[in-house]
Homo-oligomer: A and B are copies of this chain.
Amino acid sequence: MTENLSILVWNEGVHEANNEPATMKEMYPEGIHGAIAEGLRVHLPEAYISTATLADPEHGLTEEALEATDVLLWWGHKAHAEVSDEVVDRVQRHVLGGMGLLVLHSGHFARIFTRLLGTTCSLKWRNEGERELVWTVKPSHPIAQGVPSPLVIPQQEMYGELFDIPDPDDLIFISSFEGGEVFRSGVTFTRGKGRIFYFSPGDQDYPVYHQAEIRQVLANAVRWAAQPEISRGQPAVSNHARGWYMQ
């Protein structure tokens, strides 16, 4: 089922361009997007996996690129405001039309995420390298398959409630941090025909995307979000004569 999937990993690429933090080049020599793509290749060897960044023409998110994409992954932090209106509109249209979308970590403030959810997506945070425990609360969900509970992340930025999102379709993971905060760290949404997954682990200061269990979650989520057989096209208003369905 997954051999022909087309997956596009998007990263704003600003931390990489500035080598900020100073550990970036060593921790993520191919960029955060590179590490994510590498992890997906392990689990989805027959998929076509590419990357794009903010600096690419049209941020690498042209109509053609999105048409060819089954699942888009989104990592951003410093430069949400630099993503153009046109690209946000276009990505939204493709999600509503059936493209999968995985929003990662600080992407909670990405324009495409707040656009699709309608809320501030704000949260509490603290960056002190606390241990994060990711607990599975919906073990029957495809995204939880093969993921230990808890999934232990040695060091992460703390994200805490209140996470200002609409009630998710499915709440799969809840995280706790050493400081006692909790966070709905793995949640799904449907918008239009598209499936969306938000997953909070993955700060630029820690090598989270090299961790095997995190890669398992992302691969599961890509498989879950992909709908290669759906006809892309967002729902539209239409006028119908009585009994149109009998013809």
Which A residues are closer than 8 A to B by beta carbons? Answer: 1, 92, 96, 98, 109, 115-120, 122-126, 128, 131, 133, 135-140, 145-146, 149-150, 152, 160-164, 166-167, 169-171, 174-176, 178-182, 184, 189-195, 227, 229-230, 234-243, 245-246
Complex CA–CA separation, A60 to B231 (angstroms): 42
Decide if A167 touches B182 in the complex (CB within 8 Å): no
Least CB distance, A168 to chain B, in whole angstroms: 9
Q: CA of A145 to CA of B115 in the docked complex: distance in angstroms?
A: 26
**Chain B residues with CB below 8 A from A123, complex form:** 237
Given contacts A125-B237, A138-B190, A245-B133, contact A162 B149 (CB under 8 A): yes
Contact with A180, one of B138, B191, B243 (Cβ below 8 angstroms)? B243
Query: Quick one: given A182-B176, A242-B179, are A120 and B137 in contact (CB under 8 Å)?
Result: no
Candidates B96, B109, B162, B181; contact of A176 at CB < 8 Å? B181
Docked complex Cα distance between A135 and B109 (Å) = 22
Measured CB to CB, the closest approach of chain B to A154, in angstroms, equals: 10
Q: Are A163 and B190 in contact (CB under 8 A)?
A: no
Contact of A167 among B124, B135, B138, B163 (CB under 8 A): B138
Taking a contact as CB atoms under 8 Å apart, the answer to whether A139 and B193 are in contact is yes
Q: State A237–B116 Cα separation when bound (angstroms).
A: 19
A-B contact sample (14 more), CB < 8 A, given A164-B192, A167-B190, A169-B170:
A123-B237, A124-B238, A125-B237, A125-B240, A135-B162, A140-B192, A140-B227, A145-B227, A152-B246, A162-B235, A174-B182, A178-B242, A179-B243, A181-B240
A-B contact pairs, 17 of them (CB 8 A): A1-B1, A96-B120, A116-B118, A117-B118, A119-B191, A120-B235, A124-B238, A133-B181, A133-B245, A135-B162, A138-B190, A139-B193, A139-B230, A139-B235, A145-B230, A167-B190, A180-B245
Q: Please determine whether A150 and B237 come into contact, CB atoms closer than 8 angstroms.
A: no
